[in-house]
Structures are given as structure tokens and as C-alpha cells.
Amino acid sequence: MNLKIKPIRLSYVLTTEEIAAALTISGKSGIKPVKSAIQTGLLTALFVLFTVYAVLDPKQFQYYFFAVISLISAPVPVLLPRKTLKRRAAAFADGTRLDVSVSTGKIDVEGFFVKWSVPLDETCRVFEGGGVFATQAEGGHLLCIPLRAVPEGVLERVRECLRIGI
């Protein structure tokens, strides 16, 4: 099968969830699970420590205060990056229609009042997951292609184009 003969044309409008998925699988989401787990663990340890001190010395009310603050703060390192990701994704989901042509060697894109091309070579990384393909070109620019926009009959051809180009 010669994929250079006929490019695969797609047209779609990205949703907030698809943009968030593309940011996540490409590593640009800002969510660092290990860092969040360590911060949550430290805040939980502080809660336990202050609770123990409060039990040992019940007259010192600052231990109760800091125990409550630690308990309230513990989920923040996990929840805040996810909320920020959703806000970032919503900012990019402006309803602009993208017209994409996938072929071996490159992806041509029309949208946002401009045309550009994403070369599928060693300067481009391709990710798949969360219902999207994400391509990260040199310079960090990210292109998201939702799987829902790819007709079932050509999904394997799109995968092959993205693999061949790399």
C-alpha cells in the first residue's frame, strides 16, 4: 500500500477533554505524580505529627491549628495541577475547526487563520492515548488529532503514517 498517493483528510473541532489528554500524554500537562505524592505525604506526616503533639500536650492549641491546616492542605498538591490543566485546556478549546491532511512524512494543518506543516521525522514525537494522537514538533508545538475524527476504515492507515514518518 502506497500511502503517499492519497493523504487522509480530517476535519474537527477539539474539545477540552481532548486537549487535556494531549497535554497529559505529551508530558506538557504540568502534572507530576511523584512530586504531588511526596508533597501530599509530607503534609499528611505533618498532620500526624501535630495530632500526636496535640494529644500529648492538649493545652497547646497551636498544635490543633497546624494539624487542621495540614489536613486541609494535604489534597492540594494533587487537585490543583488537575484544575490548572483543565483551565489551560479550556483556554485552547475555542471552537476553531482544524482541517488536517495526514500523509507519510508530514501533517498539513489549516486552522486558526494560518496554515502550517508538521514534519514527521526525527524532530517530531508522536503520542497516542486518551482518545487522541498528539504530535510534538521541534520547538514544543503540539498538534492534537482526536481518534473520533478519524473514520474507522482509515484509523490503521493514520497510525501507519505516523509510525512511518518517525
pLDDT at 164: 59
pLDDT, tens digit, 9 for 90 and up, residues 132-146: 999 988 877 888 999
Least trusted range by pLDDT, from 14-18, 23-27, 59-63, 161-165: 161-165
pLDDT at 150: 92
pLDDT, tens digit, 9 for 90 and up, residues 31-56: 788 999 999 999 999 999 999 999 99
- In degrees, to the nearest 5, what angle opens at C-alpha 129 toward C-alphas 36 and 7? 145
Q: Are 101 and 3 in contact (CB under 8 A)?
A: no
pLDDT at 137: 82
- Asked whether residue 128 carries a pLDDT value surpassing 50, the answer given is yes
Name which of 119, 155, 149 is nearest 137 in CA terms.
119
CA distances from 46 to 35, 53, 69, 128 (A): 17, 10, 10, 39
The set of cell numbers assigned to 42 is: 509530607
Q: What is the C-alpha to C-alpha distance for residues 34 and 135, in angstroms, rounded to an integer?
A: 25
- Asked whether residue 113 carries a pLDDT value surpassing 80, the answer given is no
Name which of 119, 121, 102, 117 is nearest 159 in CA terms.
102
